[in-house]
Structure 1
Amino acid sequence: MDTITYLKNFIKDKNIASITPTSNVGVRKVCSKINFENTDLIVEYGPGTGVFSNYLLKNMRDDSRLILIERNKNFGSILKRTIQDPRVVVVNDSAENVLETLRSYKESQADYIISGIPFIMIKEDMKNRILYNTHRALKKGGKFLVYQTCFQADHHLKIYLDRFFSSVETKYEIRNIPPLRLYEAIK
């Protein structure tokens, strides 16, 4: 079901980076960087059909919040229909507007922001706006956890992340189709 949904949206929307959702291994690897016990707010950019969202909800505290920012209206509708949890807010918007989204839901800063949006396909000025606003939206010590398909050059996103974050680490996860490049950027 999810792969078919991704494929249909991939064909219609140039902003979707993959034809299949991230594997359970990829989700666990990205989320292993999260301290769920000390987390009040997580924001997810581009949640698609909610593979990460559902994993996050299983591990978050009952009083934590999850804001899902999904630009694709079809995916947004799926999320609203399939995730019925009072801790979740689904917002149909762009990641660049994360600060306005936080303000509108009376949140100041997030502990973690997770992103699967295809930075390789985003123009430089938009990429810089997203990263600048992401940095501002995180608490001191907060983490921006990014997963991207491995088809980009080694330096591509890291160069941009290094401009905004004090520490950036990258790793590969080959047990995903396609393999992923993972970034952990700390404010």
Structure 2
Amino acid sequence: MTKQKTASDFLLFLRSWAARPLEVAAIAPSSRRLAVAMTTEIGPLSGNVLELGPGTGAFTRALLRNGVYEDNLILVERNPAFAMLLRERFPSATLIEGDAQHLALPAVKSVGAAISGLPLLSMPAQTVRAILASVFHHLAEDGSLFQFTYGPRCPISLQVLRELGLKASFRRWVPLNLPPASVYRISRNSA
């Protein structure tokens, strides 16, 4: 990505944050290091990949670098400015302009993996529960959701995880992101 594109992404991100700080909940797009940490376990064998809140596409580009086919990407973005940018950058991906808690996927057999750039820490528990229930409704039995957070622990409460039969495992710490972030894998609890 060119420096000009990076600068324009940063300005778009900053304008979106200024307009809706709780929805965007970050002051800059995710770094390449965080994108690698979020997507390292996902590749072409994952099949369809669901991405919640792709923003300017930092994680989307990392998925493509990992060999995920663009037409296997399902991007869910509710910010109209980001959705327009994503439509231009990833024309073969399926773009759903809407809210992740009311997710209705087009005729997709199964989603092998999911990643989320959503600011779960700034959302009410019932919204987080609805988003996770929706994602795991579409996710293959052995599929996982990868979520990052700027907080000191998993952004999903133990209560919500238990209610949905899920577990969280810490994957990576990314200190060179602005701000530093942690990555968690959320999967079904086999017990």
Task: Return the TM-score normalized by structure 1.
Answer: 0.86
Q: Alignment partner of 2:182: what SS?
A: strand
Shift of 1:63: 8.1
1:96 paired with 2:97, answer no
1:165 and 1:185 in contact (8 A); partners too: no
Q: How does 1:96-175 map to 2 (within 5 A)?
A: 96-98=101-103, 100=104, 102=105, 105-150=106-151, 153-154=152-153, 156-159=155-158, 160-170=160-170, 171-175=172-176
SS in structure 2 of the partner of residue 157 of structure 1:
coil
Deviations 1:126-153, CA, capped at 9 Å, x for gaps: 1111111112111011010001223xx5
- Whole-Å Cα distance in 2 between the matches of residues 116 and 165 of structure 1? 22
| Alignment: residue pair count | 178
Other-structure match for 2:53: 46
Q: Structure 1 residues 32 and 125, CA, compared in 2 at 3 Å: closer, same or farther?
A: same
Partner in structure 1 of residue 183 of structure 2: 182
Out of 21, 31, 45, the residue aligned to residue 39 of structure 2 is 31
Alpha-carbon deviation of 1:154? 2.4
**Cα distance in 2 for residues equivalent to 1:117 and 1:156:** 10
CA distance in 2, matches of 1:33, 1:165: 22
**Aligned CA-pair RMSD:** 1.9
2:67 corresponds to which residue? 60
- Closer, same or farther in 2 for the Cα pair 1:61/1:76, shift >3 Å? closer
Change (3 A) 1:155 1:40: closer
In the TM superposition, residue 155 of structure 1 has moved relative to its aligned partner by 5.3
**Distance verdict in 2 for CA 1:64–1:2, change over 3 Å:** closer
Q: Contact 2:10–2:29 at 8 Å: present in 1 too?
A: yes
Amino acid at match of 2:123: I
**For 1:23 and 1:70, how far apart are their aligned partners in 2?**
19
Cα distance in 1 for partners of 2:68, 2:117 equals: 23
Structure 2 counterpart of 1:177, one-letter code: L
What is the identity percentage for the equivalent residue pairs of Structure 1 and Structure 2?
A: 22
1:121 deviates by: 1.3
Q: Which runs of 5+ in 1 are unaligned?
A: none
Check conservation: 1:43, 1:110, Cα contact below 8 A. yes
Would the aligned equivalents of 1:39 and 1:64 in 2 still touch at CA under 8 Å?
Answer: no
In 1, distance between residues paired with 2:166 and 2:131? 17
Aligned to 1:21: 29
